[in-house]
Structure 1
Amino acid sequence: MLERQPLTLDWLPARSTVPAGCQLPFDDAIPILFWGENCKEQGRPFAQRREDGGVVFYVDLVATTLFMLSRWEETVITERDEHGRFPATASVAHRQGFLDRPIVDQYALILREWLKVLLPAWEPESQVFSVKLSHDIDHLGRFPRVSNALRTIGRDLLKRQDLQRALANGAEAIVQYVAPHRTQYARGIELLADWSREHGLTNDAFYFMAAGPGPMDGDYDVASDATRRIVDRLTGQGFEIGLHAGYDTLGNPERLAEEKARLDAVLGETHYGGRQHYLRFQVPDTWRHWEQAGLAYDATMGYADGEGFRCGTCHPYRPFDLTLDAELDVWEQPLIVMDATLFSYKRLLPDEADTRIGELAQRCKQVEGTFTMLWHNSSLSGEWEPWRQVYRHALGVLAKMQGAWTSEARPEDEKGGRVIAPVSHQITDDRR
């Protein structure tokens, strides 16, 4: 599989993969990663009912599922980018053209149709599509140091000759050092929270850094009064707080544990999830380190350079460690799309990004999964200004897809006028 030439997989029409008369919620062609032995050469179908009533699958569902969920290919392909990340362009899914397909989930729905034929009395319970928005809080201020602010103001005056811009940046710099909880980026956190609440999308997660200020990390102290004030406001509104593990935690479980201990002290709890900074991840080590640290789940598994389904699924799952031959005691909630992927890596126009977000969300809904999207608090101003509307429009679309209420029209309980909260997938853990 790893040595196949790009775009050489077999693809079958969706309708040909299920029993006659059955219909899938999607009509995409289905990629075949692994045929059974000699099945392709013999012209076998995806699956077939036998004369004795049984069903035989000529496509290896188990191998495909294990291949995608375990991320085995990332342990044998050595290519990495400048941040030590396995890039989307090196993946089988990208090279074979199915990165935008939740192939594991599609296979699962195909299997369900065959099981319904074998077990006519069985009524499988469908899952409810849900939306999980998350926000990595990389920075609370635009200027890491006073010197950065002075250089920016100097460029405004001398190079751009823009006095108004210089005054605005000067005012922002003063706010950052006098009232850091009121900076442009801090207000971005408030906007993200307010917009989600307006659309009934109230299970957002805000991941804060606990590494301390550094060249590749944040510019704030998670234990400072200003940061605690922001965290308290979010928790008071019912939002989830998690860890945005620092750049240097990759391959360093001791540092990860130290950062988690700092956030534990701020939150007054020890069991929550989060995401690696810069999406830096090493399979299977990072999963092991998160398990050892007592973190509930990881939400890193998406690509910086390509949106889609890195793990082939949009459902949370517990990773299987092939080296240890064991399921790990930590959940993975795959990341489907990140703002910077569309803007910085793909260089999409706002309208193109809007369309792409909708397409990926629809694929998640078709397979009864969870659409996850990362939008930074710093991605609402400056060069990101035109993208504010991309995000706000996406919220409206996602709220309707999930069936959530909005501030304009909130469904009420017939008896008491109580607002009905939208149902969403929850990651549960028996250790809590």
Structure 2
Amino acid sequence: MMLLPSAAQSLRTTLLWGGLFFSSLGFLAPASAQSGRLDQLFVQDTKGAMRQITGTVTSNGLEKVVVMRGDKEASFDNGRVDRIIWGQVSAAFREGQTYFDRGDFENAAAKFILATDEDERPVIQAAARLAAGEALMLLGSSNPSRFALAIDQFDIFIADHSANRDLPRARDLQARATLLRGEEGDEKRAGELYRSLFEEGNSETPTKGYDQLSCLHAGLAAARALISAGETLPARETLGVLTSASRLLLTSSEEDSPERPKLEALVAEALLGEGFVFLASGQARQAATFFGAQLQNSNNGAPAAQRFGALLGLGEAALAQSAQDPAKLREASLYFAQVAGLDYTDRDRTAQALLRLAETLSRLGDSDAAVQVRLRLQTLIDEYGDTPSAATARTLLKAL
């Protein structure tokens, strides 16, 4: 069995929970159970129970999933379909999944790309194309050049399968891969891609097939990318819309809804964005005051994301002020250490804290600074290679 690098394993978990095998690639039934080679759908009925439907999927659309059952056609609303187990697929598709399950993402991607030509059904061609991109994303955590190849696959998917149920997923991954590719201008490009996705679910007439919560998360990703690119005006506008939309959805949610904690965290993250806009605008003192208040408020039952986000913001503000006040450098390192060691809510934030901690330790010049800096950078690369901070960490580590 091939062991996955930590970053790839974490990204794989994210992709699995995000719906790779539940929606696009699908599970493949064991060979012994494929005499009829029919697709299997797991569909939620009106009472909330999960039903298994067998047949041949002819359309896996944004609005409806259509299945032929003998000589009869049945259709199901997109939101009711939990997952699909593909029946009749090419040998290349089947080999792609075998390689993927083994953690051999290079060969998995190659087989899935081959399957886009070998499989006759468009629904399988689409599933293979998206799976190829996701396999390349997983490779990117250890080989960043693969992010560009992943983007190519997502671009093709979006062009060729614009009505597919997994279009929102492909667009989200396209934006993420763009952010991670690391070319000049990619942060702004990623921000614009995320913002476009955000608007699909949060306009006056939301696009059918786009999950609203997923679109809200795209809004947060858009704001972060735009702030990193120095595009503070569109970032602030996005944060304003995001905060209002998240609060509205939170207010309308049931107290025991499983989505409620996610919405509470999202509202907290959106509110923190104002402080990071201050930082991007060179207003470190205002940012420090803002994040200090957010940290104090986080002690009153607020989501953990608010505390860790405020700590990161305080570290960034102290670091920005250290040129005029050298004592702020030590203060910044303590904030970054807390986030790097304790934050379990956001991998990108943890990675950023590790990077900043390495930078502050290097500047402080303690007796063991070189060892500690190398340790933080190597940890970031090994465990958080799928985050935006990894590219800078690789550059810094090579220079040591």
- TM-score norm. by structure 1 comes to 0.27
Higher helix proportion: 2
TM-score (norm 2): 0.29
- For CA contacts below 8 A with separation 6 or more, give which structure has more relative contact order: 1
